[in-house]
Amino acid sequence: MQTADIQNRWLTFFGDRGHTVVPSASLVSDDPTLLFTVAGMVPFVPYLTGLVPAPFPRATSVQKCIRTLDIEEVGKTPRHGTFFQMNGNFSFGDYFKEGAITYAWELLTSEESKGGLGFDEKDLWVTVYKDDDEAIELWKKVAGLKDERIQRLDKDTNYWSTGQPGPAGPCSEIFFDRGPKYGIDGGPATDDDRYVEIWNLVFMQYLRGEGSGKEFEILGELPKKNIDTGMGMERVAFIKQGVENMYEIDQVRPVLDKAAELSGRRYGHNHDDDVRMRVIADHVRSSLMLMSDGVTPSNEGRGYILRRLLRRSVRAMRLLGVEDPTFAELFPASRDAMKAQYPEVSTEFDRISRLALGEEETFLRTLASGTSILDVAVSRSQQAGSTELPSDTAFLLHDTYGFPIDLTLEIAEEAGLSVDRDAFDSLMQRQRTLAKEDAKSKKQHLADLSVYSAFRAQGETVFTGYEY
């Protein structure tokens, strides 16, 4: 089942059930408090919080997302991408818990020939918030699930709120059991490698008050309850395609194969190399999608995240033994895997490709000049009979030349030198503190953006500037 097929099944299923199909919003969220769109619900936040009346009672989408928070997981777990697509169905004061559970179960378990996703009921588990007896009863009634397939979990994983006073409520998550080959038999609460979370159902049921973290008071039931769900399309794709992880699905694998081909190393033979290939496949795709949504590499904000993704890809290719430029081959591979669902990656490709190749060239030059500075420092240490490379040299390389610390460590180690990591880290820490103070002093000069939310809450406006 190709990813595009899953997307069509999703939109048809919810479209047929009265949901307005809403196209994906940009990765660049218009919420000023967010760097990127991190979930399917982001474009619907004004409706979910009640700030703006929803123009439809129910909606569905396949939303492009970026989660930089997951960057260190990429390639190591089977299920975390920096870019991924979240399929959502939303109810704005329309159906609630029973509707959401019924739809999710029906779509997952109905036969492929009938438009469903064809999951076997015996492979599915669910978690609920520990006090949400109503959800437990519904899972039993709607899906016929036995007690042992329903796990009660804490607020950390199974309770949602924006972190502010406003709507909040319990979640229920659906997991796929990959079988004993992947871990112990204790359900999602004990093992998240064997049991892969595929779908999160959020029941926006209560009004929360002040509080911090997961400690807040519940003021009462919401007069209009909402549903927000998110299913990870790549996760379902990798399970349905019978591959090991999300980097091996039809939308991503061609980039991984290209990285293997260019490096002359085979995928599936060495763990570290495999992780690198998966990182490249993920980061190239994320960069492609970010640039297609107008992000350009820079030293701040969104552009900096993009720059990091691009540089990490170069770095990973280097660790695979390739020092020559490779983006001219990796990016077309990603474009071709994504263009059926996102034609703009083709029409915008000249621009995207120019940005990617320019960034690669600059970074390769940085690496080359950093390497020669490092070579001088290494031979100085050696001549002085020291076994250490000064930590301030490592810091200077990192801070001024953008030369990655892991590369410094690697080159130093090859020359038989160590770097005082604690000293390096404290230099880094000092730098971060200075940057934070700087940002704080800049922030004080920024306008209060909440005025725009209030403005939007007034509904439609008419432009009268031509007449008046």
Residues making contact with ligand ATP (CB under 6 A):
67, 70, 79-81, 84, 86, 197-200, 230-232, 234-235
Q: Which is nearer to Mg ion, 54 or 71 (CB)?
A: 71
Residue 327 binding: pick among ligand ATP, Mg ion, none (C-beta 5-8 Å cut-off by kind): none
**Least separation in angstroms between CB 175 and ligand ATP:** 9
**Least separation in angstroms between CB 253 and ligand ATP:** 15
- Alpha-carbon span 427 to 174, nearest angstrom: 44
Q: Which is nearer to ligand ATP, 82 or 313 (CB)?
A: 82
Q: Which is nearer to ligand ATP, 139 or 349 (CB)?
A: 139
Residue 81 binding: pick among ligand ATP, Mg ion, none (C-beta 5-8 Å cut-off by kind): ligand ATP
Q: Which is nearer to ligand ATP, 249 or 397 (CB)?
A: 249
**Least separation in angstroms between CB 367 and ligand ATP:** 28
Residue 297 binding: pick among ligand ATP, Mg ion, none (C-beta 5-8 Å cut-off by kind): none
Residue 79 binding: pick among Mg ion, ligand ATP, none (C-beta 5-8 Å cut-off by kind): ligand ATP
Residue 302 binding: pick among ligand ATP, Mg ion, none (C-beta 5-8 Å cut-off by kind): none
**Least separation in angstroms between CB 362 and ligand ATP:** 28
Q: Which is nearer to ligand ATP, 84 or 267 (CB)?
A: 84
Residue 234 binding: pick among Mg ion, ligand ATP, none (C-beta 5-8 Å cut-off by kind): ligand ATP
Instruction: Count the alpha carbons within 13 Å of 404 in the hemisphere toward its beta carbon.
Output: 18
Q: Which is nearer to ligand ATP, 91 or 263 (CB)?
A: 91
**Least separation in angstroms between CB 239 and ligand ATP:** 11
Residue 98 binding: pick among Mg ion, ligand ATP, none (C-beta 5-8 Å cut-off by kind): none
Given the rule CB under 5 A, which residues bind Mg ion? 197, 200
Q: Which is nearer to Mg ion, 29 or 127 (CB)?
A: 127
Residue 84 binding: pick among ligand ATP, Mg ion, none (C-beta 5-8 Å cut-off by kind): ligand ATP
Q: Which is nearer to ligand ATP, 168 or 377 (CB)?
A: 168
**Least separation in angstroms between CB 67 and Mg ion:** 7
Q: Which is nearer to ligand ATP, 79 or 253 (CB)?
A: 79
Which residue number has the CB closest to ligand ATP?
Answer: 232
The CA-atom distances, in angstroms, between 156 and each of 211, 214, 245 are 15, 7, 25
Q: Which of 51, 50, 34 is nearest to 42 (CA)?
A: 34
Which residue number has the CB closest to Mg ion?
Answer: 200
**Least separation in angstroms between CB 18 and Mg ion:** 26
The CA-atom distances, in angstroms, between 216 and each of 154, 211, 288 are 14, 4, 40
3-state secondary structure the chain: CCHHHHHHHHHHHHHHCCCEECCCCCCCCCCCCCCCCCCCCHHHHHHHCCCCCCCCCEEEEEEEEECHHHHHHCCCCCCCCCEEEEEEEEEECCCCHHHHHHHHHHHHHCCHHHCCCCCCHHHEEEEEECCCHHHHHHHHHHHCCCHHHEEEECHHHHEEECCCCEEEEEEEEEEEECCHHHCCCCCCCCCCCCEEEEEEEEEEEEEEEEEECCEEEEEEEEEEEEEEEEEEHHHHHHHHCCCCCHHHCCCCHHHHHHHHHHHCCCCCCCHHHHHHHHHHHHHHHHHHHHHHCCCCCCCCHHHHHHHHHHHHHHHHHHHCCCCCCCHHHHHHHHHHHHCCCCCHHHHCHHHHHHHHHHHHHHHHHHHHHHHHHHHHHHHHHHHCCCCEECHHHHHHHHHHHCCCHHHHHHHHHHCCCEECHHHHHHHHHHHHHHHHHHHHHHHCCCCCCHHHHHHHHCCCCCCCCCCC
**Least separation in angstroms between CB 232 and ligand ATP:** 2
**Least separation in angstroms between CB 91 and Mg ion:** 19
Residue 199 binding: pick among ligand ATP, Mg ion, none (C-beta 5-8 Å cut-off by kind): ligand ATP
**Least separation in angstroms between CB 374 and ligand ATP:** 34
- Residue pair 243/249 in contact (Cβ under 8 Å)? The answer is yes
Q: Which is nearer to ligand ATP, 80 or 208 (CB)?
A: 80
Residue 230 binding: pick among Mg ion, ligand ATP, none (C-beta 5-8 Å cut-off by kind): ligand ATP
